[in-house]
Chains A and B, each alone.
Chain A
């Protein structure tokens, strides 16, 4: 049973690691390999999978640890130096995995009872986990082979004493983990919204039918965003400066794109506003330019960069789902581009900078 649960957990960890690396790449892409604009739901899928798989791993790891708990008390505790190192590597794997899953879930709930930078620790701890997981598989490979080859209904001598049958626990674990996944996935998968009983977010209930993660008040932009002195500038070979009225008079395009948050919720919405590339070209730039969009917000995710196909498909939205963009959604102007992490869809835009 340990081998079977371990196999599922190993696959789940690998999925979380791969999707996590993709998410990290969203924040720091190499200039020569920009994030592509297609598929436009790419980040929605990978980050949804990352968070839902991570949440489902919480019950999964409890089953896995329960199935090997008796080995904690195996005697003699340490047989040799190799054995001691092996046990140490398991302690690292277990503690790092438990901490990663719990703190990852806390991040989804926006709860940070620690002093370190969540994003950086979550990233480096994932290397610790994957490394110690590979080491664990290397050490246990013969036992894993034997475990997987043993039919599940056959009793083994190595299982926990007087516990339930291996088959029973596997069925119960599958149901438990399945229910957790099914009742949380509604926050990324609209068809399952009706059973999202344990989903931290309900994206459909947001203002203008879309959730927000930072309010105008939190970002301290409420006054600046509504100021009559608001100006929008494009800094390039032919700089542009516009008032709000001039900005709103520009030709617009319409597009349907999702906001996909790193915290694992997402929702598609209709957007309208001037195309970013049109403005870039007016200011003397081109589709080859490196574009930085800058917010009125100070600190936090106050700017982001676009190049390549994302730049070509990006819209500076003034309207959301048929209404003027609300203050919390980034009034007067926000970025929306395909296959892009939500925090990089910069809100309350005031300036665009071009580099060739």
Chain B
């Protein structure tokens, strides 16, 4: 069997199984309306798309564009890296900070840490790590520049 045909077979099988499993999940959600509240669930699903595609992603892109304008290229790589690391960690961290005041329960040992301080500590470490790697990159390139004439 040629590579092309076996590829096609894999793709068609995956697709058919996928549609069946997807359809089964949707069907069961629609069947069990008393527990699944399909209309409210649908609103939340659309809401998830709007919040991500309409708010989170554009804000991230805008920060990227702003960085490209104000930070010089060599430093930008590191600022971007640090922001991505910090942003990803914060995606979980801010939810913990937000819910701590409302759902925290000493009896359940639930959300009992000072997440604000903990997140700040982690972000401080990320900043220091980013600054150190930028420093190393600057030192390295300076050394390479100094050596260049001797290499020729």
Tell whether A81 is near chain B: CB-to-CB under 8 Å: no
Query: Nearest-CB distance from A74 to chain B (Å)?
Result: 14
Note all chain B residues with C-beta closer than 8 A to A184: 92
A138–B107 contact, CB under 8 A? no
Per a CB cutoff under 8 Å, which of A58, A99, A127, A207 touches B25?
A: A127
B19–A135 contact, CB under 8 A? yes
Tell whether A11 is near chain B: CB-to-CB under 8 Å: no
Name the interface residues of A88-104: CB closer than 8 Å to any CB of B.
89, 91-92, 94-96, 98-99, 102
Name the interface residues of A169-217: CB closer than 8 Å to any CB of B.
169, 171-173, 175-177, 179-180, 183-184, 196-203, 205-207, 211-213, 215
In the assembly, what is the distance between CA of A215 and CA of B107, in Å? 7
B118–A197 contact, CB under 8 A? yes
A116–B89 contact, CB under 8 A? no
B-side interface mostly: helix
B121–A59 contact, CB under 8 A? no
Query: Nearest-CB distance from B85 to chain A (Å)?
Result: 4
B41–A172 contact, CB under 8 A? no
Name the interface residues of B83-98: CB closer than 8 Å to any CB of A.
84-89, 91-93, 95-96
Tell whether A38 is near chain B: CB-to-CB under 8 Å: no
Name the interface residues of A117-142: CB closer than 8 Å to any CB of B.
117, 120-121, 124-139, 141-142
In the assembly, what is the distance between CA of A213 and CA of B88, in Å? 29
A120–B32 contact, CB under 8 A? yes
B49–A98 contact, CB under 8 A? yes
What per-residue 1/0 map shows which CB atoms of B79-113 lie under 8 Å from chain A?
01110111111011101100100110101111111
In the assembly, what is the distance between CA of A176 and CA of B90, in Å? 9
Question: Using a Cβ–Cβ cut-off of 8 Å, how many residues does chain B contribute to the interface with A?
Answer: 73
Tell whether B15 is near chain A: CB-to-CB under 8 Å: yes
What per-residue 1/0 map shows which CB atoms of B42-64 lie under 8 Å from chain A?
00111011011100110011001
A180–B52 contact, CB under 8 A? no
B22–A213 contact, CB under 8 A? no
Given contacts A125-B25, A162-B68, A198-B96, contact A59 B88 (CB under 8 A): yes
Query: Nearest-CB distance from B68 to chain A (Å)?
Result: 6
In the assembly, what is the distance between CA of A110 and CA of B36, in Å? 18
A164–B77 contact, CB under 8 A? yes
Note all chain A residues with C-beta closer than 8 A to B135: none
Per a CB cutoff under 8 Å, which of B48, B88, B109 touches A173?
A: B88
Per a CB cutoff under 8 Å, which of A106, A109, A134, A179 touches B89?
A: A179
B12–A62 contact, CB under 8 A? no
Q: Closest 8 CB pairs between A and B?
A: A131-B22, A127-B25, A176-B88, A134-B18, A131-B21, A135-B18, A59-B88, A138-B15
Residues of B with Cβ closer than 8 Å to A? 7, 10-15, 17-26, 28-29, 32, 35-37, 40-41, 44-46, 48-49, 51-53, 56-57, 60-61, 64-65, 68, 76-77, 80-82, 84-89, 91-93, 95-96, 99, 102-103, 105, 107-113, 115, 118-119, 121-122, 126
